[in-house]
Amino acid sequence: MRSLPALAGVYAAAVTPLKDDLSPDLDGLANVIHFLARRGCHGALLMGTTGEGPSFSIAERLQVYQAAAAARQDLASFRLLAGTGTPSLEDTIQLTRSAFDLGFEGVVVLPPYYYRKATDDGLFAWFSQLLESAVPSDGFLLGYHIPSVSDVSFSLDLLSRLKDAYPSQFTGIKDSSGDPKWAQSLGKRFGSDLLVLNGNDRLFSLALQSGASGCITAMANLLSPFHRLIWDNFQAGKHDEITQDKLSQAREELDRFSPMPPVVKLLLSRQHGFPLWKVKPPLLDFDLSQAEIMMSGFLTALE
């Protein structure tokens, strides 16, 4: 069995509970964190895509980080990652510093996503300033590769440059490309030298076989016992095709009703008794006339 990186494991891209006035429900967030810990997650990513991070102000994000840090005080082994990427380098530095000051194990950072034609040299300069200004020597930064949303990609060469320049602090990538060839290319290029956390449930087993060390996904809010079973079996040298097939089919069903935040919030409410939390515009709350159709397909996939 290969030795695992410090951040290896199963992470939920946690939802952000919202009150009716669209402010963060911090008590609800604490409940979500304890729920995820009980269901096998090694940790959670706050303020990622599923957490609607880019829709929140700097002050709101900091509130959420602070509440998450307080909530996990009695969860000694539960890790926290913060989504801190913004188009502004200074805002990203502030958020990143704050997350580490609060004891977060790592940050997951989108590339600056307004100037879509930024070059690798420009992205390297941006991340270099962030790493040197905000990431402590014992902190971990993962790039967030989700080109279908950000429209800005990490190239293999850029990842290599960042890893060579900052071998301890630039620890890896959250790969939400959904591209099996890209997942395989990461393993071929870097082996175990780069931490890869997969962001697409359908590719979880393939990513592990290609050298990934875990996952960060929206569906881990709902199905983390499945993710954990696949991960545990893989560490024991077993390929769990049955569980992976169920996970893949469930993800395919939910993708029919994307975007994911309102879908996950509805299922958390219907299946696990959480309040039916709001989402922030421009997202809209789930169309309840479609709820039974969505839930039926989702549950059938898990049979």
Catalytic residue among 114, 188, 238, 300: 114
pTM as predicted:
0.96
At residue 259's C-alpha, the angle toward residues 175 and 211, to 5°, is: 15
Q: Could you confirm whether 49 is annotated as catalytic?
A: yes
Catalytic residue among 16, 113, 174, 217: 174
Q: Could you confirm whether 174 is annotated as catalytic?
A: yes
The mean pLDDT value of the chain amounts to 96
Catalytic residue among 11, 65, 144, 243: 144
- Asked if pLDDT for residue 197 goes beyond 90, the answer is yes
Which whole-number Å values give the CA distances from 149 to 11, 45, 60, 144, 232, in the listed order?
A: 20, 17, 22, 11, 30
- Asked if pLDDT for residue 2 goes beyond 70, the answer is no
**What is the domain partition of the chain in residue ranges?**
9-240
Q: Please state which CATH number belongs to domain 9-240.
A: 3.20.20.70
What would the pLDDT profile of 26-71 be if each residue is shown by its tens digit? Answer: 999 999 999 999 999 999 999 999 999 999 999 999 999 999 999 9
Which whole-number Å values give the CA distances from 111 to 7, 67, 125, 149, 206, in the listed order?
A: 21, 26, 11, 11, 25
Q: Could you confirm whether 300 is annotated as catalytic?
A: no
What would the pLDDT profile of 143-176 be if each residue is shown by its tens digit? Answer: 999 988 888 999 999 999 999 999 999 999 999 9
- Grade residue 286 by pLDDT with cuts at 50, 70 and 90: very high
